[in-house]
A and B are shown apart, each in its own frame.
Chain A
């Protein structure tokens, strides 16, 4: 089975405090720690486990720039055969739909049985996989937390629905699935693994090779645009205990007693 996994390099929310920059028009990007989008990493692991059983290859692809090669290499160190970077200055300012259009152009150059994405990235939009599937007229399923290969034409998949229930579906191949975190246990990647793939060339394609019309990608084609970032005060906000640790513990025990937490 030939599997394509669409990945993205994102600021790691577990490592960073995200704040506004001084000008107030963007987040503060100095000193941000970047990593592979968490759900994408689960998607790559799932793809590797499928080809370990069913045979085939895993390709990882991203739309971005040179900086994004590091996440491709990381996923190649996990076992992806090929890393592909789709990059062109005309892609700048793309919205989710444009990203999906760029990926579609790449998908059509190959012969993939299965395309995986993470369920969502740092913007929480959860959009590219479903858009890509619709553009390709492939079946789509989101929030997938289990995949079983029935044969080379069909999968049985599990979707995570309310209350931790699982919705079981059968889907024809080729299809696009968005993978939920927790579906597997992604393998560890050490420095040695990364060094081992350091010299493997990354395939790079621009708009021309992808035969993309400039009118369909980038800022001019984007229907959706982020205007600014801001810090919202939602709700009243917590009463912050700002003593030293000992004082905070003491105060909290008093509050818990008053609220029925210490019966």
Chain B
């Protein structure tokens, strides 16, 4: 028999995260006739709003209410889920900063298999769930087999599954709060500090010259700045550039940086990790320039050039200045 499938619904201020409909789609790929159950933890009117909004999508919504869940602290939520989940369940969680906080430990406590950052589901044969993952920053894919005989915790890459339309359900909300009982955890949420605004707001620009690890050195950032100046664009970047302190955090595009919606995005020496791509919205025209022909950025770009940006960009700058009638530098 197919195990029961649960999806963990992330929400914020009473609104359901996009991942919820994607998890429902992933559940359907595991079991085409699945009727997954939504798991929601939270507190107060926000939680009630989320549960109500989930009813059209799910036959059952399991509600876990508690003041400790008013902020999504994975340490508390893990302990709650361990108390309510039936043995052998498959639990789907989004692969984001919450999912990777919650899920590995949850799999241990449920004595279930753990497979993370899943992009594709091939199906179930006997006790094996077969999935598609990526390794090496998306340079290569892998088929992975996961033994689900004692259940599984599976994290799903955001954006990898087409969200499922609402099926006409009138789901019931089942309050599981009592089953949770008293729990305590050694980690306590204090506050959230909002990201500092930078000198340039990259979210307001129509053209971005975005640089990655391929820029190689802080001194080379000027090469990108010169191109940006010629184009009337701003310079943004991927995570390694911020890690190396070559640009401010406010210039970072990605799930842990800014979400941008330019018309044109020049990805220069950027490999194209999914966390970076998650920050690019509105389907811009993407140009990728990278030395590595295997870089995953070429799979999502409109135009690709295999070249060293340190040599290519200065020539591009020169031609752009010519085309726009700007004096040569």
Contacts and interface: CB of A to CB of B under 8 A. Distances in A.
Contacts of B132: 232
A256 B320 contact: yes
B101 A142 contact: yes
A187 to B, nearest CB: 14
Given A224-B146, A253-B320, A18 B140 contact: yes
A96 B104 CA distance: 9
Interface in A237-263: 237-241, 245-246, 248-250, 252-253, 255-257, 259-263
Interface stretch (B54-62, B84-92, B165-173, B285-293): B285-293
Contact of A263 (B150, B232, B303): B232
A181 B305 contact: no
B307 interface: yes
B140 A20 contact: yes
Given A13-B136, A260-B263, A140 B303 contact: no
Contact of A142 (B100, B190, B294): B100
B135 interface: yes
A16 B136 CA distance: 10
B304 A97 contact: no
A13 B103 CA distance: 26
Contacts of B6: none
A14 B122 CA distance: 30
B195 A165 contact: yes
Contacts of B221: none
B127 to A, nearest CB: 10
A201 B136 CA distance: 32
Given A164-B258, A263-B232, A223 B147 contact: yes
Contacts of B213: 14
Contacts of A156: 190
B281 to A, nearest CB: 13
B243 A18 contact: no
Contact of B75 (A119, A139, A226): A139
A171 interface: yes
Contacts of A241: 303-305
A133 B303 contact: no
Contacts of B292: 17
A171 B249 contact: no
Contacts of A143: 97, 100-101, 256
A122 B142 CA distance: 13
Interface residues of A, number: 87
Interface string A134-161: 1100111111000000000000101111
Nearest to B322: A253
Contacts of A234: 296, 299-300
A238 B302 contact: yes
B29 interface: no
B107 A126 contact: no
Interface string A42-85: 00000000000000000000000000000000000000000000
A239 B114 contact: no
B37 interface: no
A170 B188 contact: yes
A257 B323 CA distance: 9
A233 interface: yes
A250 B319 contact: yes
Contacts of A225: 144-146
Given A97-B108, A126-B104, A27 B140 contact: yes
B287 A252 contact: yes
Contact of A18 (B136, B252, B259): B136
Contact of A122 (B73, B136, B239): B136
Contacts of B303: 238-241, 252, 255
Given A13-B271, A223-B147, A262-B323, A168 B142 contact: no
Interface string B111-149: 001111100000000000010111111011111111100
B48 to A, nearest CB: 24
20 contacts: A13-B139, A18-B139, A130-B101, A131-B114, A178-B100, A224-B115, A229-B140, A231-B140, A234-B300, A235-B300, A237-B304, A238-B300, A240-B298, A241-B305, A248-B312, A249-B312, A252-B316, A255-B285, A255-B303, A259-B263
Given A226-B144, A239-B304, A240-B304, 18 more contacts: A16-B136, A124-B116, A124-B135, A125-B116, A130-B103, A134-B108, A141-B101, A158-B193, A172-B187, A223-B150, A229-B135, A230-B140, A238-B298, A240-B305, A240-B306, A252-B316, A255-B287, A262-B323
